[in-house]
Structure 1
Amino acid sequence: MRISGKHIAIGAGALFSYVFLLIPLAVVVGASFDDGAGAYFRFPPEHLSLRWYRELPAKYWHGLELSCLIALAAAATSTLIGALAALGIAKGSLGRSALLETFFRLPLQVPFVVTGIVFLQFYYLLFDAWRVSLIGSYAGFVLAHLFFCIPYAAGAVGSVITDDLRRIENAGRIAGATEWRVFRRLTLPALKPGLFSGFFYAFIISFGDVPVSVFLSTGGAVPLPVEIFQTLQFEFDPAVLSISSVVVVLSALFIVFVQRVVGLDLILPGARR
């Protein structure tokens, strides 16, 4: 079988992209096994050791746990709100739908740093008025993350609401199905790819957030990305490589789990063969 130059070029480009994306991860994971200490890391490691995994400070584990809990709550809630918003936009009039779509995309036009400052001031006002303390609280983080996660979820769900779905829904109504039955048997299955991808994207955005969370963190509640950012501001800590490697491994396991249980084709349309 003869392989054309076009296919060779595409394959070479794909290989370069994979290598370009994986090299930084390989360097971080490999350097985390170096036994040395100092203001820099070595790759490849000179002396293999699990030292920085054994001596991993508890603050990183606490930050990882907090980040996961915040991201799960923000992703689940934003997916629910985003799905309702997408359905409302799809079923509304043309002018109203365009206005609502613009409204739900508006948070993405605001710099995340500005969002963090706004929520910080908003929480200060709440505390002054009603003595409600949200700075450094689980609810405070989730509420702020919803602001920029909902647009991703709404966009993901809205992308699967097509004219074909509307025609299928109308056919179900003509056949005598109730609105609840149409939603449960026709609409909801069609929305699954958007729901899963919306949750997936919202989780990633929330988990990796620094610009918003850094303004809302306190001594007892610091998400992992903020903890790493603050640590590297003042000195290099080899333990950062270890906790980063843990996150890489957990991410890979999560992808494998999704592929086995759900299927990547429901989350990443480009994964379809």
Structure 2
Amino acid sequence: MASLNPIARGLGIALLVSLPAPIAIVVGASFSDSGYIQFPPDVLSLRWYVETLSDPRWPRAFAISIGIAAVTAVIVTACNFMAAYYTVRHAPRIAALLELAIFSPLFFPHAAMGVAMVALIAKLDLIGTAPGIIIAHLIVTLPFSYRPIHVALRSIDPDLIRAANVMGASEWQALRDIVLPMCRSGILTSLLFAGIISFDEVTVTMFLIGPNITTLPVQIFSFVQDSATPVLAAISTISVLITVLAVVILDRVAGLTFFVRRDGA
């Protein structure tokens, strides 16, 4: 068994090195001066970043995606917090049933969900609008947003809330002064997950875009069908940079210890 340790260690190192390799290739190709995706680049250039920013389609699609992701993250996090808080505090017996309903979007292929969203959003007369896309993204991000909040709420000692009630604090005061501060990491994690998933969502969104609105992933998908210049690498690099910044901000504000087991392991 001891002889397997170097092999396992080597495989682990190889895996850690290979995971960021595609990102490194995309970032390197974005600085190429050639008219096609090339890695490593012969000559370093900002040509494709300049072209990306000078083409109004990309900044507009990027701004739309950021706006939709931000609104989606805030709404779905607020809804999930209220649902998780109610079940943990007042109705633990329905927790399993509620989780089944919340995680049900994971059971369906995104293409089938896109067709269903078209039928729903069309009845609301919101096809080709930002509110219609946000409604669809709320359903897509719902399962990923709920779990961090639920775990954070379950980690709070109920005696703290009971003690606050005994001292005269109302339900709202206990929620504001005890629950929300102690759930900060879970709430921020939910916002991060929901925002990233909404920002990257393409399959369902393709069914709901219109002539006046499109998101960045859908714009990239359409662009790939016509061309494959390093503009795609530049846009992907910017998207990766924003994701990394979001994770860094989460680490600074709440800390990534939320992802670490707290049972003494």
**TM above 0.5:** yes
Match of 1:252 among 237, 244, 252: 244
- Say whether 1:46 aligns with 2:42: yes
**Aligned equivalents of 1:162 and 1:238: distance in 2?**
47
C-alpha displacement of 1:86: 0.5
1:117-172 per-residue CA deviation (whole Å, 9 max, x = no partner) reads 11112222333xxxxxx122111111110112222222211112227522322232
- Say whether 1:124 aligns with 2:116: no
**Aligned equivalents of 2:154 and 2:249: distance in 1?**
29
Secondary structure at the counterpart of residue 219 of structure 1? coil
**AA in 2 matched with 1:46:** D
Matched with 1:21 is: 19
Match of 1:181 among 139, 160, 173: 173
C-alpha displacement of 1:94: 4.7
- Say whether 1:262 aligns with 2:254: yes
Q: What is the aligned residue count? A: 261
**Aligned equivalents of 1:224 and 1:91: distance in 2?**
40
- Say whether 1:31 aligns with 2:29: yes
1:155-191 per-residue CA deviation (whole Å, 9 max, x = no partner) reads 2111122275223222322343322222222222222
1:57-110 per-residue CA deviation (whole Å, 9 max, x = no partner) reads 221221111111110000010000000011122134454332222222222222
**Aligned equivalents of 2:44 and 2:162: distance in 1?**
64
**Aligned equivalents of 2:200 and 2:249: distance in 1?**
20
For the structure 1 residues 33 and 270, does the alpha-carbon distance in structure 2 shift closer, same or farther, using more than 3 Å as the test? farther
Contact 1:83 1:153 in 2 (8 A): no
For the structure 1 residues 91 and 262, does the alpha-carbon distance in structure 2 shift closer, same or farther, using more than 3 Å as the test? closer
- Say whether 1:232 aligns with 2:213: no
Report runs of 4+ in structure 1 exceeding 6 Å deviation.
4-10
**AA in 1 matched with 2:235:** I
* Deviates most, 196-205 or 147-156: 147-156
Give unmatched runs, 5+ long, in structure 1.
Answer: 128-133
**AA in 2 matched with 1:120:** V
Matched with 2:66 is: 68
**Aligned equivalents of 1:186 and 1:14: distance in 2?**
41
Matched with 1:218 is: 210
Contact 1:31 1:42 in 2 (8 A): yes
1:128-143 equivalences under 5 Å are 134-143=126-135
TM-score (ref. length: structure 1): 0.85
Matched with 2:189 is: 197
Matched with 2:80 is: 82
Contact 2:105 2:139 in 1 (8 A): yes
Contact 2:200 2:217 in 1 (8 A): yes
Contact 2:65 2:215 in 1 (8 A): yes
Secondary structure at the counterpart of residue 212 of structure 2? coil
C-alpha displacement of 1:259: 2.8
C-alpha displacement of 1:212: 0.8
Matched with 2:57 is: 59
* Deviates most, 4-13 or 256-265: 4-13
For the structure 1 residues 7 and 179, does the alpha-carbon distance in structure 2 shift closer, same or farther, using more than 3 Å as the test? farther
Quote the RMSD (CA, aligned, Å).
2.6
Secondary structure at the counterpart of residue 122 of structure 1? helix
Secondary structure at the counterpart of residue 19 of structure 2? helix
For the structure 1 residues 11 and 68, does the alpha-carbon distance in structure 2 shift closer, same or farther, using more than 3 Å as the test? farther
**Aligned equivalents of 1:264 and 1:162: distance in 2?**
18
Contact 1:149 1:206 in 2 (8 A): yes
**Aligned equivalents of 2:189 and 2:11: distance in 1?**
26
